[in-house]
Amino acid sequence: MPEINENLISELEKIQDPQELIGHLYRTFGNRCAIGTSGQLTGTAMIDQAIQAGITKPRVFTIDTLRLFPETYQLFEAIEKRYQIHIERLEPDSQKLGEMVKEHGEFLFFDSKEKQELCCGLRKVEPNDRALETLDVWLAGLRTDQSQERSGKSRFEIITDKKGRSILKVAPLLFWTEKQARDYCAVHQVPIHKLLNVNHNGWYYESLGCVICTTPIGPTEPRRAGRWRWFKDDANKECGLHVVKKDE
């Protein structure tokens, strides 16, 4: 298996077509490669592309924060049925979750940015770290049009797991627009999250995370404005999964 380093990235940079790239990565890394999806358009589109690329059983995982919309669970079941795959569900550590709730309450994320990050850290980041321990390549559905922070991302990024091991994080659809993702799903009949089709006077869900913390956005709002609306700092709308740590 190739080493995860800048040389590998230089080689992979030559593959522009997302489907070709996804197929190549699965063929090269097998089950050490996986799509991480939270049910957004690009996650499901990547699963479809892997299948189209000839990967019959692409490894796919999701982080079940135990606070997802019922429609998110329905989507995962629809994807599993359509593509005959199993989506691995990683949940928060139940003991730590119990301790956090006991100390700070169920709705600690309303209290402060720090407590929201504590909750996201325990419900999302820590289970995701567990998934990364089993991977060499993490396929993520990030898009540059989602936020200012994400507009500066690269398709390839070398990150490290808890033990300092290098993992290649790849965003094959980074430069797709939301319309491209929606069009792809429509043309290829990819199951999409039911709430993504809800539109009330121009208000719609651009993405789906946990209930309460995710709300629809208005016609002129930034795409991640629907997350944690009670915080004034509109710039910080990340849960920690896709944030590059300062010491990296």
> Quick one: which H or E segment has residue 99?
helix 94-104
- Among positions 137, 209, 217, 237, the unique one binding ligand SF4 when judged by CB under 6 A: 209
Structural tokens at position 175: 């430069």
| Contact map string, positions 124 to 163, toward ligand SF4, x by CB under 6 A | x---------------------------------------
Q: Please give the residue whose beta carbon sits closest to ligand SF4 in the complex.
A: 210
- Asked if 224 is part of the footprint of ligand SF4 (rule: CB under 6 A), the reply reads no
Name which position in 21, 47, 87, 119 contacts ligand SF4 (CB under 6 A).
119
Instruction: Name the residue nearer to ligand SF4 (CB basis): 85 or 210.
Output: 210
Tokens 């490669």 belong to: 33
Q: Which one of 51, 139, 168, 210 is in contact with ligand SF4 (CB under 6 A)?
A: 210
Residue 141 or residue 172: which is nearer to ligand SF4 going by CB? 141
Four-residue CA torsion sign, 178, 182, 188, 193 = positive
Which CB contacts under 8 angstroms, 24+ apart, belong to 164-168? Answer: 166/3, 166/4, 166/5, 167/4, 167/132, 167/135, 167/136, 167/137, 167/138, 168/4, 168/8, 168/9, 168/136, 168/137, 168/138
Residue 118 CB, nearest distance to ligand SF4 (Å)? 8
Check binding of 100 to ligand SF4 (CB under 6 A): no
Could you give the CA distance from residue 48 to residue 33 in angstroms, rounded to a whole number?
15
Cα distance between residue 248 and residue 232, in whole Å? 28
242 lines the binding site for ligand SF4 (CB under 6 A)? no
- Indicate which single residue of 116, 146, 147, 207 sits in contact with ligand SF4 (rule: CB under 6 A): 116
CA distance 212 to 214: 6
Instruction: Determine which residue in the list 59, 67, 150, 193 makes contact with ligand SF4, applying CB under 6 A.
Output: 67
Is the alpha carbon torsion for 151, 152, 157, 161 positive or negative?
Answer: negative
Q: How near is the Cβ of 128 to ligand SF4 at its closest, in Å? A: 11
Q: Does position 207 bind ligand SF4 by CB under 6 A?
A: no
The closest of 224, 234, 215, 221 to 113, measured between CA atoms, is 234
Q: Identify whether the C-beta of residue 103 lies closer than 8 Å to the C-beta of residue 96.
A: no
- Is there binding between residue 237 and ligand SF4 (CB under 6 A)? no
**Contact positions vs ligand SF4 (CB under 6 A):** 65, 67, 109, 116, 119-120, 123-124, 209-210, 213, 239
